[in-house]
Amino acid sequence: MNFNKKITTETIAIALGSIFITHKLYCKYKRYSNKHKIYINGDIDDNMYEHFMNQYSKINIEDDIEIHVKSHGGLLNCAYMISRVIQNHKAKTTSFIHEYAKSSGTVIALSCSKIMMTHTACISKIDPQIDDSNLYNGLALCESRIKDEINEPSQKLAEYYKFEYLQIYAENIVKTNREMILKILNKTYETDQVENIVRRLFDSQKAHGHLFFYEDVVDILNIELIN
């Protein structure tokens, strides 16, 4: 009788152990299978935003996402729209940088809750730049304002006002872009982290194309090294 009880107890223990291990393996598989990958490979523009949304539309809002970024940058407005989608996602978001995510690519990476990058991968500064389209629009606006405000201005006076208006226009663009970037950072990082990120990646005197590697930003970002 005691022998039978011993066998029964051991059998139950083995069965429970098997169930526990099976459950752990299932949970691990479930977590892995629920991770979806989105690829941002190329210039960040309207086409890339559409490509991103096509990929995102196939993902459940409660599933983890890996955002694999490889980009030299692009339009901040498009990067901002992509970042807002990422930050409104309910589950965990992780950006992976195997080579480079520069400028607007860096902004998208910063919108994720965590960044994974290799030792040789890099990001760059996120200070906004005035591109050719901004400059063209600014010149057109300046010329229009000069015509409206000055009757038959001399060439010298027109050039002076054009410079003044264009400077104000550029300052407003930089201010607006800075506000967009701060909105993204404030949703992902704590206040003291945001201040350090802005100081190093936005306000520093380094050139816009300056590259930052893992060891340069590990102290200010939510970042881990890919082994």
Domain that holds residue 26: 1-33
- Pair of tokens at residue 65: 């996402």
| 22 assigned to some structural domain | yes
Task: Indicate whether 59 belongs to any domain.
Answer: no
Domain assignment present for 114: no
Who contacts 224 (Cβ-Cβ below 8 Å, separation ≥6)? 114, 115, 116
Q: Is residue 208 part of a domain?
A: no
Q: Is residue 14 part of a domain?
A: yes
> Can you give the pLDDT of all 227 residues of the chain as single tens digits?
454 555 566 666 565 566 666 555 545 444 444 579 999 999 999 999 999 999 999 999 999 999 999 999 999 999 999 999 999 999 999 999 999 999 999 999 999 999 999 999 999 999 877 665 555 555 555 555 555 555 555 555 455 555 666 677 677 778 888 999 999 999 999 999 999 999 999 988 898 889 999 999 999 999 999 97
96 neighbors 68 (Cβ within 8 angstroms): yes
| Cα–Cα distance for residue pair 155/153, rounded to 1 Å | 6
**Residue 87 burial by Cβ neighbours in a 10 Å radius (0-12, 13-18, 19+):** middle
CB atoms within 10 A of CB 220: 19
Q: At 143, list the tokens.
A: 């010329």
Place of tokens 């400077």: 167
